[in-house]
Structure formats: C-alpha cells, structure tokens
Amino acid sequence: MAIIRHALIALFLGLVSTNAVSAQAWADKMFKDGLVHDFGVVPKGAQLFHRFTITNIYAVKMEIVNIRSGCGCTSASSSVKVLEPRESATIDVTMDARRFSGSKTVIVYVTVGPEYVSTAEIRVTGNSRSDVVFNPGQVAFGVVSQGQKAEQTIEVEYAGTQNWQITEVISKDTPLEATFKESYRKPGQIGYLVNVTLKPDAPSGNLKEFIHLKTNDTGTPLLSVLVEATVQSSISVSPALLSLGTIKPDESLTRRVVVRASKPFKVLGVDGLGEGIELGTQPASEPSMVQTVTFKCAIKQEGQFKKQLKIKTDLQEAPVLVTIEGTTAP
C-alpha cells in the first residue's frame, strides 16, 4: 500500500517525467499570483513588505519545510506550516533598505515537501535611493490594547533640490490617520515630521498597512511607510478550540472555557448552541474579570463535526469565538 501511495503522489505532482528540471518545478505552481515583486525606488532606511499567497493545488497534504533568504537584508515567514488540499497561506517577505544601496534583488527559497521536495524561488527587488532617508524606517506600534489610540512620529530627510516638498499624506481605507509638517529647509537639506495615529476603532489582530507620502518629485511621486501593530482585544477566551476527539453518539461530555477581560463584565449568552451542544450551567449573574462558561456536548449524528459559538458579553467588544470539534463514531 505504501508503494502504491508514493507512486500516486509522484504521478499527481508530475514527478514521473522525462524532464527532471520541469518535474521539480511543481512548487512554483502553488504561487498562482506570481513569484516576483518589485518595490521600485524606495527611501534609504525604509522597511519594505510584500505578502505572497501559496495555495496547495494538489490532492495531498503539503508542508512548508524550509524558507531561506539569500541575503541578510531580507527575511520571510509563513502564516502556517502545513497546507491541506486547496488550503492557502501567506509568505510575508520583508526587505530592509538600510542594508543596501542602489538596486538589489534577493531570492527567497520556499521548499515544499516532505515526501517529494520542490523549491520555489521568490524574487524581490528594491532600489534604495540615498537622497531620501526615513528615520526610523517604519512605524512600529508594538502591542496596543483595542480601543486605545497610539501615536508615533518618523523623520523624513531629503538631500537635493531646494523645491522638494511633501504635498499630501494618503492613509484612506486603513485604521490610521497621518499628518505632516516641514521641520527645516536649508540649502541642500529638507526635513519633515510625519505623525501617524492608530485609531481607537482599529480591529484586533496583527496589522500591516502602508501610508503613502505624495511629493512633487515627478520621478518618484510616492513614498510608502510601513506601519505595524498588534491590536490586542481587552477580552480573551482560553481555550478558543475545544477538541473532543472521537466520541460515541449521545456520549455526554462537559467542557469549560475561561473568559478574561481587563475590567469586570457579565456573560449575556451564547449564540450557535444546538445540535447536541448546550450550556452546562448558567453564567454567573455578578460581574467579574474572569468568567467560566460550561458546555455540555452530546452529538448524535455520526461523522466529523465542527461548530463555532459566540459568547456575548456586556462589554463594547465583538463576541468571543469558541470552536468545538471532533468525530462521532460507534
């Protein structure tokens, strides 16, 4: 059986081929949107970022076994390691324009396997100009509590023609606001301060966005500034996934989750109950910074199941999500 399985995988991936070179290129096909990105002309010191999409187009599970950059100025990471058939993930590539001058092309090697191995080559290019410098090279807010405002300022320094100007800052369709002002102008040197604000209504999760500085430079009219933040919700649940494993039909199991917040709150109810999943006990009536929610699970239908529940609270937050999954078998 193992021999047959390996043969089927090899045939499916196209590895059984008289052309060994083309046979090994099957990982390239997983990047449907391409393997190349050109950042163009960028300021010295800028942090450059691009997100590639990788999709498992094959009928077998795939694993991203290694990601390696050909230069210390570039790093890359994947959002997940294992891809089920038809599942997609992202490969985030960051290039540090402080670490090179002029034009630079870097190859990032993404190796997929593990039974049969193929390596895709991502190519990113940037041209670091020395006449414009960002300090620091990006806006990094770090961890910010949801609902809180955060601000940071970067300096933009230009060395060149005396009439150079930033004319506009563009941050539409993002949870960001930005303003700018000229800080100095002297022969051959011009400085600006760009203030970036993370709005209180920014959604929770990891944020990677760009603001764009419009200039009167006809050759390079836009300068992009990378903005990163981790917006942390004031309410959380642990565990967020309840895996019941394999259970018998109508077998009754009790599971608990703990909901924590930065201030006292009450659990108002749970959406999505039914089909064998109910509340084990009623939530506490008194506000507390920690609340326990108990679920009673008795699934009748055989097979795999997965159900998402929404725990509602009296806080001005989105519902807390809990997933219950498992398999029912005699």
Range 82-101 average pLDDT: 92
SS3 at position 99 = helix
Q: Is residue 120 part of a domain?
A: yes
* pLDDT given for residue 4 in this prediction: 46
Chain centroid to CA 46: how far?
A: 20
In angstroms, the CA 106 to CA 68 distance is 11
Looking at the 3D structure of the chain, how many domains does it have?
Answer: 3
Which amino acid is residue 93, in one-letter code? V
Q: Which pLDDT band holds residue 304 (cuts at 50, 70, 90)?
A: confident
Are both 252 and 184 inside the same structural domain? Answer: no
CA distance 194 to 199: 16
**The pLDDT of residue 19 is above 50:** no
Structure confidence by residue, pLDDT tens digits, 249-261: 878 888 889 998 8
Same domain, 250 and 271: yes
Residue 6 in domain: no
Residue 261's CB: how many other CB atoms inside 10 A?
A: 19
Q: Are 125 and 34 within one domain? A: yes
* Mean pLDDT computed over 21-42: 85
Among 102, 130, 158, residue at a domain's last position: 130
The kind and range of the H/E element at 98 are: none
Whether 18 shows a pLDDT value over 50: the answer reads no
Q: What range does the domain containing 160 cover?
A: 138-232
Task: Let me know if residue 5 belongs to a domain.
Answer: no
What's the CATH number where 313 sits? 2.60.40.10
Residues 154 and 247 reside in one and the same domain: no
Q: Which of 130, 151, 186 is the last residue of a domain?
A: 130
Question: Closest Cα to residue 177, out of 159, 140, 202?
Answer: 202
Residue 7 covered by a domain: no
Residue 203: how many other CB atoms lie within 10 Å: 10
Output the pTM of the full model: 0.67
Share above pLDDT 90 across residues of the chain, in percent, rounded to a whole number: 58
Residue 97 located in a structural domain: yes
- Domain boundary among the residues 130, 150, 176 is at 130
- Cβ atoms < 10 Å from Cβ of 16: 10
User: Are 149 and 122 within one domain?
Assistant: no
With 70 as the cut, is the pLDDT of residue 7 above it? no
Mean pLDDT is lowest, of 99-103, 150-154, 209-213, 322-326, for 322-326
- Residue 303 CB-density burial (10 A; 0-12 exposed, 13-18 middle, 19+ buried): exposed
Q: Both 264 and 194 in a single domain? A: no
Is 79 a member of any domain?
yes
Query: In the prediction, which pLDDT does 16 show?
Result: 40
